[in-house]
Copies of this chain bind each other. A is one copy, B any other.
């Protein structure tokens, strides 16, 4: 049946997380986790749901950008889009006028992600499959046809990408079965936000250990003595064999990052995340080189704005862990490009998640990565944060610190309509009460 998209709506939905310091870090001290929430509807009455994540003020700008992109989507059929998804991706990201205000970065790319996430959701629903399964079952050449290779052919050609996918067909069913049984390994960031007291941190750590968590991330970067105390505390709580990661959220300059992290080396972090500007490829390369002798890797990506940036991070050996984001990049299409490049450069992918809906979305991509690209779990894990899942129709399922593969058709980011209405900004009840 033809599925012409006849309507796109977008809403500004915010959760007042700053009231309890959830999500606080060295640069984002008072985030209100938010989404620009997109619903597309077909003339057959089918719906697709998409979102992009933001942290409060400014969400209205992304909403405005989604509205601007809407004209390029409404009127197209799903068949038309997916029969030339590369072309459609290019249409959205390279509009002769709108590309000026990007291109492929910041607000306009976040909006592109929201719209395309909804399109992918619609596609998966129309096939009656969860998104990861749609991808896993898809013919490699069809997958390749969704990727815009513009600006990355010096690092990865279409043929190389195809070869990677074809090669990973071997053992695929085994990995599907394994994932369905065991799930994908996760780590938790819920224990140690910067605004939390030591008392709360200890309590959350104890609870997490009891729930089977073995990998923990701590926010650092605001105050060195404070970081030493908190890292020491956490390392004490989790013992020498569990994994610790630290995250500075872009707080430092290059030299400062090296000095600061060196002081924290005794707590044996696996990686330092976002040590400096997300744009500073050469800076990350310098930091990587300096920290390698200490056994500390560099992780970044949640604010890496497109495949061209990831390409260079890989080319320059500027990161040792690729942190893809389901909403920062241009949806599944651009993430496919990054997963394939990471594989070629032999760098593990450990997705960014948390916020609102990021866990729900990115679990699909990392399942695909394991089953159809990397075929490896070495040094790999997906971030998990235990907030706001109750607002989703198909919330993530975590068992024994693993993401269990979603079973419902789609991309898992349909929200409860009641949650959307209550949290709509500024007219929703939650916000009216706070005024």
Contact = CB atoms under 8 A, between A and B. Distances in A.
Contacts of A97: 28, 30-32, 54-58
Number of copies: 2
What is the interface residue range for chain A against chain B? 35 or more
A151 B57 contact: no
A61 interface: yes
A250 B32 CA distance: 37
A68 B57 CA distance: 8
A80 B55 CA distance: 28
A308 B279 contact: yes
B106 A151 contact: no
A81 interface: no
B106 A282 contact: no
B27 A58 contact: no
A95 B31 CA distance: 10
A65 to B, nearest CB: 5
Interface in A268-295: 276-283, 286
Given A105-B305, A106-B101, A29 B96 contact: yes
A259 interface: no
Contact of A303 (B103, B281, B312, B316): B103
A107 B110 CA distance: 11
A255 to B, nearest CB: 6
A60 B68 contact: yes
A399 interface: no
B253 A151 contact: yes
Contacts of A56: 97
A289 to B, nearest CB: 13
A98 interface: yes
A39 interface: no
Nearest to A99: B27
Contacts of A30: 96-97
B280 A100 contact: no
25 contacts: A27-B96, A28-B100, A30-B97, A54-B101, A55-B96, A56-B97, A57-B68, A58-B100, A61-B61, A61-B68, A62-B101, A105-B105, A105-B279, A105-B305, A106-B108, A106-B109, A150-B277, A153-B255, A154-B254, A277-B308, A279-B309, A280-B308, A280-B312, A281-B312, A282-B315
Given A31-B97, A58-B108, 8 more contacts: A27-B96, A54-B100, A105-B106, A105-B279, A150-B277, A151-B254, A154-B255, A282-B315
